């Protein structure tokens, strides 16, 4: 007799749980936002590398290259061009140094990358106009920074949450219901909407950097709301 009562109670509990699960009413939506941030610090990366004078005479073959221009001379010219572009010396940091094999039978060519911190994109135009590109392997925009980045991140996430709320509200209202409280929030992956690793930026016009003048960040929030009568 006790066993039958127990089985009956378990059956009733199972029915209650099943009913509770099927009776849950909620809507789950994704809200997104995008923010453009004007950088106050621009990392401009200049890679310099030793070269042979004969490379630029228009007639010599690689096996005839003899007169190598040392890295110290190239760096001196680059730093002079940067100074003329109003870039202070303390804004220039040596990031890495390496050896690059040129061809079989040729000398190693020493290379170095300079990380130049700028505050204005127009400075790039001034640098490009003054720099001797012989001995410069690549120039490109690196990381863009803003001192208030954390505040921008918070704003972007809040706007994404509000967007999710607006979307959920008009969807349930279309069914004659009302939006209830928040049941679940999941922050989805966010990041730059473009890559900053552009290669060989050697233009003579700063307008070429137009698409890189702002930091574009996208935010996405998955939110579950209860549905009320």
Tens of pLDDT along the chain (229 residues) come to 544 444 344 344 443 333 334 447 899 999 999 999 989 999 999 999 999 898 888 888 887 888 889 999 999 999 999 999 999 999 999 977 776 655 555 677 889 999 999 998 889 999 999 999 999 989 999 989 999 999 999 999 999 999 999 999 999 999 999 999 999 999 987 554 333 333 334 444 444 555 567 888 999 999 999 999 8
CA nearest 160: which of 215, 100, 107, 222?
A: 222
CA distance 218 to 191: 6
CA distance 57 to 100: 22
CA nearest 114: which of 47, 39, 160, 42?
A: 47
CA nearest 41: which of 81, 78, 93?
A: 93
Supply the pTM of this predicted model.
0.66
């Amino acid at each position: 007799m006790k066993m039958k009562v127990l089985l009956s109670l378990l059956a009733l509990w199972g029915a209650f749980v099943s009913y509770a699960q099927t009776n849950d009413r909620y809507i789950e939506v994704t809200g997104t936002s995008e923010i453009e941030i004007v950088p106050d610090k621009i990392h401009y990366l200049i890679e310099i590398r030793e070269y042979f004078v004969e490379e630029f005479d228009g007639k010599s073959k690689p096996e005839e290259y003899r007169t190598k221009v040392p890295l110290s001379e190239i760096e001196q010219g680059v730093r002079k061009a940067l100074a003329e572009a109003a870039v202070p010396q303390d804004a220039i940091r040596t990031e890495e140094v390496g050896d690059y094999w040129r061809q079989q039978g040729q000398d190693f060519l020493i290379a170095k990358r300079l990380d130049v911190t700028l505050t204005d994109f127009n400075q790039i135009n001034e640098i490009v106009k003054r720099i001797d590109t012989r001995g410069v392997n690549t120039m490109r925009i690196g990381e863009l920074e803003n001192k208030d980045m954390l505040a921008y991140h918070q704003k972007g996430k809040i706007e994404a949450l509000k967007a999710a709320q607006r979307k959920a509200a008009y969807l349930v209202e279309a069914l004659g219901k009302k939006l209830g409280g928040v049941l679940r929030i999941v922050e989805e992956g966010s990041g730059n909407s473009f890559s900053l690793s552009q290669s060989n930026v050697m233009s003579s016009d700063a307008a070429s950097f137009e698409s890189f003048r702002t930091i574009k960040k996208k935010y996405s929030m998955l939110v579950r709301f209860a549905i009320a009568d």
